[in-house]
Amino acid sequence: MTVSSGKDRVSLKRRNILYFSSFGHLRWGGQKSLFYLATRLDGTRYRPVVVVPTDEELAAELRKRDIEVVVFPLPPLLGGSPLPALKTIRRLTRLIEEKQISLLHTDGPRNTLYAALAARARSLPLVWHIRSSDKDKFDNLLIPLCDRVILVAEALRNRFSPRCWEKKFVTIHNGIDLAEFDHTPSASLCQHYGISPETIIIGSFARIEAMKGQLTLIEACDALKDLFAFKLVLFGEIHDADYYRTCRETVERLNLQEHVIFGGHREDAAPYIKGVDIVVLNSPFAEAFPRVIIEAMAAAKPVIATDVGGCREAVEDGVTGFIIPPGNRMALRDRIQKLALDPSLRNRFGRKGRQRAERLFSLEINIRKTVEVYEGLI
């Protein structure tokens, strides 16, 4: 276990919160949400300590802001000898004592189970923050061990049974830093990729894998190439090499090489979101509450999203964008065409989206509601 920190002072006036991250990077929405929460808490009332499994970008960025980081890999709970798990629980219990922790806040099944066992030894409250729609075999075991469960979307209630646990649930949508989109200049995609100014730029910001639906998006665009000038820019790290290869082969088969660009992963998505005309999230299976949707709204961009997870809670269909059935190429094509050919509609959706983001999805609202959960427990 490696502990690194800026200041290690413990104030009796502050509550020390122990956060757990399932990943050490900052590429995905859950880690970004945790980062913003830990760094924007009122430092006079709360002192965050963040447990990460690996010493990567998340730890580095937290240290820059004088947030204490504990690099603490958690071994698998099943299979093999139970000794590593027992040792881990003892070490966690010691960490809780040393840091005078008042509450534990987790984000995944494995760290929730470890935290629950350690918290019970010290009679401390535990909050599980669920950011995924994927069911886990430990779900119904973990809920009784938690004092509160934060869901990033109302739709995630369907993940759990029985309903007797409803009283533990509270929905707090993801929040974003609206000022980031006010002060960040737009990326000049036209200049970077040699795109003419009158060309409609359609942006997708997601990992390249089947569960993000880029292949269907490419196929939907095939019917648009003779109707108006457009570029489809697919931003995102390659998460599935075979799927990426299929996407590229489909672009060639449909003769879309002049229309589709693979933009790669961007650490800072804000300027690129601001640089497109339409943002599409085409997930065919599941989502929780995708940050990219509310980021697009903060940038005053119209959104097309599939009706999965909490997307409908973010996008107001026909007001800030369009909600379409998952896997429906025709609906996707029609909505892209409608927005591409109507600049006034794009502007109206973008303006309404920004207003909705300010009203419902600001970082300040997210943190205030999270702190209300803490105050009800400690």
* Among 78-82, 135-139, 142-146, the least confident range: 78-82
Give the strand order in the sheet containing 278-281: 260-264, 230-235, 200-205, 278-281, 303-306, 321-324
The answer to whether the 2-175+362-375 and 178-360 domains have the same CATH topology is yes
Is the CB of residue 91 less than 8 Å from the CB of residue 117?
no
DSSP 317: B
User: Hey, what are 359's tokens?
Assistant: 């009203």
Cα separation values, 74 from 2, 21, 52, 128, 304, Å: 13, 11, 9, 16, 38
Report how far residue 131's alpha carbon sits from residue 153's, in angstroms, rounded to the nearest whole number: 8
Q: How confident is the model at residue 164 (pLDDT cuts 50, 70, 90)?
A: low
For residue 328, the Cα-to-chain-centroid distance in whole angstroms is 24
Q: Report the CATH fold assignment for 178-360.
A: Rossmann fold (3.40.50)
Is the CB of residue 338 less than 8 Å from the CB of residue 366?
no
CATH pick for 2-175+362-375 out of 3.40.50.2000, 1.10.260.30, 3.40.1440.10, 3.40.50.300: 3.40.50.2000
Residue 168 has pLDDT above 70, yes or no: yes
* Each residue's pLDDT tens digit, 318-356: 999 999 999 999 999 999 999 999 999 999 999 999 999
Q: Where are the domains of the chain?
A: 2-175+362-375, 178-360
* Each residue's pLDDT tens digit, 235-266: 999 999 999 999 999 999 999 999 999 999 98
Alpha helices in 143-258 (DSSP H): 178-183, 189-193, 214-222, 241-253
Is the CB of residue 232 less than 8 Å from the CB of residue 342?
no
The contacts found for 84-87 with CB under 8 angstroms, 24 or more apart, are 85/114
The candidate with the shortest Cα–Cα distance to 15, out of 41, 33, 34, 35, is 41
Residue 141 has pLDDT above 70, yes or no: yes
Alpha helices in the chain (DSSP H): 29-40, 57-64, 83-98, 109-122, 139-142, 178-183, 189-193, 214-222, 241-253, 270-274, 291-298, 311-314, 329-340, 343-360, 363-375
For residues 110-136, give the mean pLDDT. 93
Q: How confident is the model at residue 152 (pLDDT cuts 50, 70, 90)?
A: very high
